């Protein structure tokens, strides 16, 4: 699958996307389902606030973007397609991470099966576990540790990960995605 960059790389997030609905929120920001205006493609926009007391983009944010671009090479991990800049109502700078949109996660998938009263077919379980293991193997092969404390973080493998910092092996850097 080809990872095409979002059209209008130089344009702001507000010009490039129409927010459709908020789909998640966490300590790292809010996530919206949005439509790319130029193509009509549905994406996930992760809105990340930048600290206003510092100039430029914090090193942790740059590390996150770099890591996500690297992880996007694997077909079992959700793709970071682009990074956009925008301003909030107060005029403060916000970064939007543009991901491919996943309309299903493991929690919803299991819940839908439970509603039918049927068990998930063994071949489906096997397929899901295979995909999970492939994504985990890619992460581990590139020095990325992870934690799945919530099944909503899985499928398309949009998950919460820890990144082992190369300079301080004893501390972990957190990257979370809804």
Is 115 one of the annotated binding-site residues?
no
Assess contact for 45 and 13: CB atoms under 8 A: yes
**Phi/psi of residue 123, each to 5°?**
-65, -35
Please tell me the distance from the alpha carbon of residue 36 to that of residue 150, in angstroms, as a whole number. 29
Assess contact for 7 and 36: CB atoms under 8 A: yes
Please tell me the distance from the alpha carbon of residue 159 to that of residue 145, in angstroms, as a whole number. 11
**Phi/psi of residue 84, each to 5°?**
-120, 155
Token pair 């916000």 in the structure block, residue: 94
> What residues are designated binding site for ATP?
46
> What residues are designated binding site?
46
């Amino acid at each position: 699958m080809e990872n095409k960059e979002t059209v209008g790389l130089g344009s702001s997030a507000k010009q490039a996307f129409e927010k459709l609905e908020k789909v998640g929120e966490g300590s790292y920001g809010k996530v919206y389902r949005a439509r790319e205006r130029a193509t009509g493609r549905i994406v996930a926009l992760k809105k990340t606030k930048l600290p206003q007391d510092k100039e430029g983009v914090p090193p942790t944010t740059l590390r996150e973007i770099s890591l996500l671009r690297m992880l996007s090479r694997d077909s079992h991990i959700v793709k970071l397609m682009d990074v956009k800049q925008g301003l909030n109502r107060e005029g403060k700078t916000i970064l939007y991470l543009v991901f491919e949109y996943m309309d299903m996660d493991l929690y919803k998938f299991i819940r839908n099966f439970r509603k039918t009263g049927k068990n998930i077919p063994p071949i489906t379980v096997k397929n899901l576990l295979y995909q999970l293991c492939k994504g985990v193997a890619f992460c581990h092969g590139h020095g990325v540790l992870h934690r799945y404390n919530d099944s909503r973080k899985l499928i398309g493998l949009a998950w919460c990960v820890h990144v082992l910092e190369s300079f301080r092996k004893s501390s972990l850097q957190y990257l979370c995605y809804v």
